[in-house]
């Protein structure tokens, strides 16, 4: 087993107005040799003068990287010959750099790591030499640009970490306003050092990699180089200390120079510059330049504004946008709405016009005003979008635009009430339908009011008014297959049945009219026959009922075997629901046709308990089984007891264990029947509510939802690792179109990676090429964090994503939900790790 050590040398050009040692403008992309003077051209007799802005920025970066700041930092001459270096030495720092011993924290796939910062030092950039035919041309505009070098400790292990650190560092310097972080233009550059050795033997020979013009190349080059060195070492070879170049066309590294030809830079203190000594005033200016960093700000946004991680990530990626967002909130915009609009409609407008939000006619105040008008229902969504366009077009205030165009909605209850009364009176048939439990005509009635008011009535208020006037307070029960709504045939086998007939039994039980049974017209099926289309129908039905307010609670009667999938899927889509969504199931159907109810059937009992939960108004997604209220996440259907032996169920239910057992235990105590055994894995306390993966999922049109779900399901495969499993099998699956694997591993995340046909390593490597992702869960009830074993660590190195405490079923449905909304894999991984 090998160990790898990665350190980075990052150079950033500081955004000072002038060069670091002279008064020339420091600018990119101007006519060659126009920003030059005797000093930066290295004329005889000139002297460097230290740029105050540059040294301040340098200390600000060092401070932000948690470095110990040198009270006394020394400039030195680094001697080397190159025609683009005017003095043939570079003024740099060596023995006493301005910052030392800092760190930067990164987190890759659940593994948080503190990467040490060895030092931070200030130096000057060189010019550029361009070879053109038989000529060599020199441009000294860049010569003397302040350059800050940041050297990390060799604390990283894989290219992915280096890429992440670089991205994080880039955001940081952009936030600080000290560098634009453009790797293509070279205002940020990175060389990487890597050394590979047998585990536990410390650092091996250091190999430096140059020509890394993007953070992606840094990752690719390092991972390539680590593999190359491991290959050599495993064949008994040795790694020479050398400098290699990344060849981006061939995706490999090539020797540039070996140690023997390494430079002797003959450092010595720069006699032209006295050591820089910090004063209280200077340090005060450094402190004053510090800003809240992207990660801190992201965490604060999540906390303070209750945003999802991916929303906060988007908002805090660039400082101007984050500032803009907060300014809008300060002006009264609701945070969620502002985040959503900025990520979607506003972003589209900006992209089309190629401007930045801070430069657009849409001031934070205008956005806030627009969103307030929307929140107060003075305009509806479509009008809001039109108004947004007008703001960009004319640069005027939203209210002004709306007034002028007569776009304001009618929200006055008295006026709306008149419209509603007229419409209800005119459509008695629809009203009757709704009263009979069919919620569909509500939409029709709303539409009629809209028509009557020439589209100016506020739809949500209209809907609320209709519901109020019809006094609809209902719990809707949806049948979604399973024994609970099944019937036992004459031959003893269970087949899909009719829940409505079951519901008829409720009448005697004092349940009010307000309990309404709805067949979803899913056809009769057993829960093991669920298809993506069935889920799509369920999701959109639930969404529309929640949206129309036509249900105060929803009960879903389900089969036991796939309950844990549907329950978690509903959670990922509706975790923030305020109306309870309650799933329930039974082991036995209520009865055989034309016979007495089965004495051991739990169908009616569970359904009643579920309806009671739904009527209780307790928000969130619940799974009612027996007397227990299980979490929809991490639900495991652990057993099924033959109805002839209920006593064993009692024994099982009495077993001490995780939270889910609580309900079983209680029901056992109550002497009730519990023929199936559910349990929540890895849970200290049940979770019913939370943040959904996305609020948009339920709002998608049913056809699109179906299409997306089908597409998602096709790209996913759940693989349980087992002794003898071969990596090639997974590769075959990839070739068949699988891009997302859920690997159910052993323990805290282990699998065979030893170099045999049974190793999964090949599959991972193939996966990296093929763009496949591996989400890892455990076969045991334990969190996967790759913490325990070497093989787990190797999996992490190969890029496998640990899913922590989540069970395979919950990860699968989460993946489906995430796939429906993520625009790319980066976003997907964020949604999965959130």
Partner 1 sequence: MSYWNRVLHDARRREAYTKFVRTQDAGLGAFLEFDPARRLDPPLAEHADPGDVSYAGSVSRARSRGAAAGGETPESALAGVPFAVKDNIAVAGFNLTCASRILEELQSPYTATAVRRMEAAGARVVGKTNLDEFGMGSSTDNSALGVTHNPYDHTRVAGGSSGGSAAAVAAGLVPVALGSDTGGSVRQPASFCGVYGLKPTYGAVSRYGLVAFASSLDVVGVCARELSPLQAVFNVIRGLDERDHTSQEPVSGPSAKVSVVGVLTGLQGLDPAVRAAYERTVEYLQGLGYALREVELSTLKYVVPAYYTIATAEASANLARYNGVRYGLRPERAENPDELVRIARDEGLGPEVKLRILLGTYVLRSGFQDQYYLRAQRIRTAIRNELARAFDNVQAILTPTVPVLPFAHGEGELTAFQQKLADIFTATASLAGIPALSVPCESTTGGLPVGMQLLAPAFAEERLFAVAGRLAEAAGERGLVARPENYPPLPDWAAAKGYELDWS
Q: Which residues bind partner 1 (CB under 8 A)?
A: 17-18, 21-23, 37-38, 41-53, 55-56, 77, 79, 81, 83, 86-89, 129, 136, 138, 140, 264-268, 271-274, 276-279, 282
Q: For 408, which DSSP code? A: P
Tokens of 241: 């200390």
Pairing mode, strands 89-92 and 76-79: antiparallel
- Closest approach of partner 1 to the CB of residue 271, in Å: 4
- Closest approach of partner 1 to the CB of residue 260, in Å: 14
Cβ-based burial of 533 (10 A; exposed 0-12, middle 13-18, buried ≥19): middle
Tokens of 334: 């609701």
Residue closer to partner 1 by CB (options 72, 722) is 72
- Closest approach of partner 1 to the CB of residue 243, in Å: 17
Element (H, E) at 414: helix 413-426
Q: How far is CA 509 from the centre of its chain?
A: 47
The span from the CA of 751 to the CA of 718, in Å, is: 15
- Other C-beta atoms closer than 10 Å to the C-beta of 603 total 27
The span from the CA of 652 to the CA of 668, in Å, is: 9
Residue closer to partner 1 by CB (options 262, 703) is 262
- Beta bridge mates, 487: 495
Name the residue among 335, 334, 331, 340 with its Cα closest to residue 366.
331
The span from the CA of 325 to the CA of 305, in Å, is: 11
Residue closer to partner 1 by CB (options 275, 413) is 275
**Residue 735 in 3-state DSSP?**
helix
CA dihedral 61, 63, 69, 74 (to 10 degrees): 10
- Closest approach of partner 1 to the CB of residue 163, in Å: 33
Residue closer to partner 1 by CB (options 22, 672) is 22
- Closest approach of partner 1 to the CB of residue 62, in Å: 15
- Closest approach of partner 1 to the CB of residue 122, in Å: 12
Confirm if 165 and 188 have CB atoms less than 8 A apart: no
Residue closer to partner 1 by CB (options 37, 713) is 37
Residue closer to partner 1 by CB (options 264, 823) is 264
Residue closer to partner 1 by CB (options 26, 548) is 26
- Closest approach of partner 1 to the CB of residue 244, in Å: 23
Residue closer to partner 1 by CB (options 265, 643) is 265
**Residue 609 in 3-state DSSP?**
helix
The span from the CA of 278 to the CA of 98, in Å, is: 10
- Find all residues with CB under 8 Å of 113, minimum gap 6, and list them: 105, 106, 107, 155, 156, 161
Q: How far is CA 794 from the centre of its chain?
A: 24
Name the residue among 495, 493, 504 with its Cα closest to residue 524.
495
Residue closer to partner 1 by CB (options 44, 200) is 44
- Closest approach of partner 1 to the CB of residue 28, in Å: 19
- Find all residues with CB under 8 Å of 382, minimum gap 6, and list them: none
The span from the CA of 593 to the CA of 756, in Å, is: 58
Tokens of 479: 């049948």
Give the number of C-alpha atoms closer than 13 A to the C-alpha of residue 321, restricted to the C-beta side. Answer: 23
- Helix-then-strand count for the chain, H and E: 28, 30
Residue closer to partner 1 by CB (options 22, 588) is 22
Pairing mode, strands 188-198 and 207-212: antiparallel
Print burial letters for 320-339: b (CB count within 10 Å at least 16), e (below 16): ebbebbbbbbebebbbebbb
- Closest approach of partner 1 to the CB of residue 47, in Å: 5
Residue closer to partner 1 by CB (options 98, 579) is 98
- Closest approach of partner 1 to the CB of residue 12, in Å: 20
Residue closer to partner 1 by CB (options 284, 642) is 284
Pairing mode, strands 621-625 and 628-630: antiparallel
Confirm if 641 and 678 have CB atoms less than 8 A apart: no
- Closest approach of partner 1 to the CB of residue 289, in Å: 13
- Closest approach of partner 1 to the CB of residue 319, in Å: 24
Residue closer to partner 1 by CB (options 34, 247) is 34
Which residue is listed with tokens 């450092």?
A: 267
The span from the CA of 793 to the CA of 157, in Å, is: 11
* H helical segments located in 684-760: 702-715, 727-735
- Closest approach of partner 1 to the CB of residue 186, in Å: 21
- CA dihedral sign, ordered 426, 430, 435, 436: positive
Q: What share of the chain is helix, strand, coil (3-state, %, to 5)?
A: 40, 20, 40
Confirm if 558 and 585 have CB atoms less than 8 A apart: yes
- Closest approach of partner 1 to the CB of residue 26, in Å: 11
**Residue 644 in 3-state DSSP?**
coil
- Closest approach of partner 1 to the CB of residue 39, in Å: 8
Residue closer to partner 1 by CB (options 138, 505) is 138
- Closest approach of partner 1 to the CB of residue 69, in Å: 14
- Closest approach of partner 1 to the CB of residue 240, in Å: 20
Q: For 562, which DSSP code? A: T
- CA dihedral sign, ordered 78, 80, 81, 83: negative
Residue closer to partner 1 by CB (options 41, 203) is 41
Residue closer to partner 1 by CB (options 41, 829) is 41
Residue closer to partner 1 by CB (options 89, 717) is 89
The span from the CA of 485 to the CA of 526, in Å, is: 9
């Amino acid at each position: 087993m090998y160990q790898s050590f990665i350190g980075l040398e990052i150079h950033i050009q500081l955004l000072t107005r002038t060069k670091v040692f002279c008064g020339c403008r420091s600018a990119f992309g101007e006519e060659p040799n126009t920003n030059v003077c005797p000093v930066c051209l290295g004329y005889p007799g000139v002297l460097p003068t230290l740029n105050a802005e540059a040294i301040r920025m340098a200390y600000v970066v060092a401070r932000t990287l948690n470095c110990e700041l040198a009270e006394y930092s020394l400039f030195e001459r680094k001697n080397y010959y190159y025609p683009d270096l005017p003095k043939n030495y570079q003024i740099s720092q060596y023995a006493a750099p301005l910052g030392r011993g800092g760190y930067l924290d990164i987190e890759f796939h659940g593994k948080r790591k503190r990467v040490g910062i060895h030092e931070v030092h200030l130096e000057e950039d060189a010019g550029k030499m361009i070879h053109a035919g038989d000529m060599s041309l020199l441009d000294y505009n860049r010569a003397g640009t302040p350059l800050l070098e940041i050297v990390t400790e060799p604390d990283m292990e894989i290219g992915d970490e280096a890429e992440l650190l670089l991205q994080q560092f880039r955001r940081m310097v952009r936030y600080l306003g000290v560098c634009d972080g453009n790797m293509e233009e070279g205002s940020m550059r990175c060389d990487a050092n890597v050394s590979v050795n047998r585990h536990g033997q410390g650092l091996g020979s250091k190999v430096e990699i140059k020509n890394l013009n993007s953070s992606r190349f840094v990752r690719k080059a390092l991972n390539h180089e680590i593999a190359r060195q491991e290959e050599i070492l495993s064949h008994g070879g040795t790694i020479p200390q050398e400098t290699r170049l990344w060849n981006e066309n061939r995706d490999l590294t090539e020797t540039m120079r070996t140690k023997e030809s390494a430079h002797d830079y003959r450092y010595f203190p720069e006699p032209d510059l006295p050591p820089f000594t910090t004063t209280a005033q200077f340090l005060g200016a450094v402190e004053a330049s510090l800003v809240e960093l992207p990660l801190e700000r992201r965490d604060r946004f999540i906390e303070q504004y209750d945003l999802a991680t991916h929303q906060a990530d988007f908002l805090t990626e660039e400082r101007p946008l984050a500032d803009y967002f907060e300014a809008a909130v300060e002006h009264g915009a609701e945070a969620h709405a502002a985040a959503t609009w900025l990520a979607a409609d506003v972003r589209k407008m900006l992209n089309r016009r190629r401007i930045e939000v801070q430069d657009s006619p849409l001031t934070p105040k205008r956005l806030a005003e627009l969103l307030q008008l929307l929140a107060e229902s003075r305009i509806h969504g479509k009008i809001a979008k039109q108004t947004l366009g007008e703001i960009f077009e004319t640069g005027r205030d939203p209210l002004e635009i709306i007034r002028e165009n007569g776009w304001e909605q009618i929200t006055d209850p008295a006026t709306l009430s008149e419209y509603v009364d007229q419409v209800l009176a005119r459509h008695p048939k629809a009203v009757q339908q709704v009263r009979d439990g069919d919620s569909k005509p509500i939409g029709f009635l709303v539409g009629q009011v809209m028509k009557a008011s020439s589209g100016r009535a506020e739809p949500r208020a209209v809907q609320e008014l209709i519901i109020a006037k019809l006094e609809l307070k209902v719990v809707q029960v949806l049948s979604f297959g399973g024994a609970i709504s099944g019937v036992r045939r004459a031959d003893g086998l269970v087949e899909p049945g009719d829940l409505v007939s079951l519901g008829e039994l409720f009448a005697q039980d004092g349940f009010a009219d307000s309990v309404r049974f709805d067949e979803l017209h899913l056809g009769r099926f057993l829960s093991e026959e669920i298809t993506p289309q069935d889920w799509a129908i369920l999701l959109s039905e639930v969404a529309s009922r929640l949206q129309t307010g036509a249900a105060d609670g929803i009960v879903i009667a389900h089969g036991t075997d796939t309950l844990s999938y549907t329950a978690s899927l509903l959670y990922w889509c509706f975790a923030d629901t305020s109306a309870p969504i309650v799933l329930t199931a039974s082991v036995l159907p209520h009865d055989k046709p034309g016979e007495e109810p089965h004495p051991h059937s739990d169908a009616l009992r569970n359904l009643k308990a579920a309806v009671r939960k739904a009527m209780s108004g307790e928000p969130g997604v619940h799974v009612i089984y027996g007397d227990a209220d299980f979490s929809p996440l991490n639900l495991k259907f652990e057993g099924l007891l033959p109805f002839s032996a209920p006593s064993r169920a009692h024994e099982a239910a009495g077993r001490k264990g995780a939270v889910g057992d609580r309900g079983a235990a209680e029901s056992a105590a109550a002497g009730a029947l519990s023929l199936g055994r559910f349990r929540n894995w890895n849970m200290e306390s049940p979770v019913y509510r939370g943040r959904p993966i996305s609020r948009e999922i339920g709002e998608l049109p049913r056809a699109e939802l179906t299409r997306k779900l089908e597409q998602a399901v096709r790209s996913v495969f759940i693989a349980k690792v087992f002794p003898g499993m071969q990596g090639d099998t997974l590769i075959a699956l990839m070739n068949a179109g699988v891009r997302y694997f859920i690997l159910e591993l052993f323990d805290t995340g282990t699998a065979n990676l030893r170099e045999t046909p049974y190793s999964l390593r090949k599959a991972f490597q193939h996966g990296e090429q093929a763009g496949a992702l591996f989400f890892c869960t455990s076969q045991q009830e334990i969190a996967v964090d790759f913490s325990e074993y070497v093989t787990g660590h190797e999996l992490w190195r190969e890029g496998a994503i640990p899913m922590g405490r989540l069970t395979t079923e919950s990860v699968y449905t989460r993946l489906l939900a995430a796939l429906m909304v993520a625009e790319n894999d980066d976003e997907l991984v964020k949604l999965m790790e959130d």
